[in-house]
Amino acid sequence: MDPKKLKTVLAGYSQIGKAFLAATILVFGGGTTVLLYTANKLQLHSVSHGRMELEYVQVKCRTYNKKKVHPTMI
How much is the pTM? 0.46
Residue type at 3 in one-letter notation: P
Q: Which tens digit of pLDDT belongs to each residue from 37-66?
A: 887 787 766 666 667 777 777 777 777 666
Distance CA 14, CA 20 (A): 10
Given 3-state DSSP classes, what are the helix, strand and coil percentages for the chain, each rounded to the nearest 5?
Answer: 85, 0, 15
- What is the structure's pLDDT at 45? 67
Question: Which of helix, strand or coil describes residue 35?
Answer: helix
Cβ atoms 72, 64 nearer than 8 A = no
- What is the structure's pLDDT at 70? 57
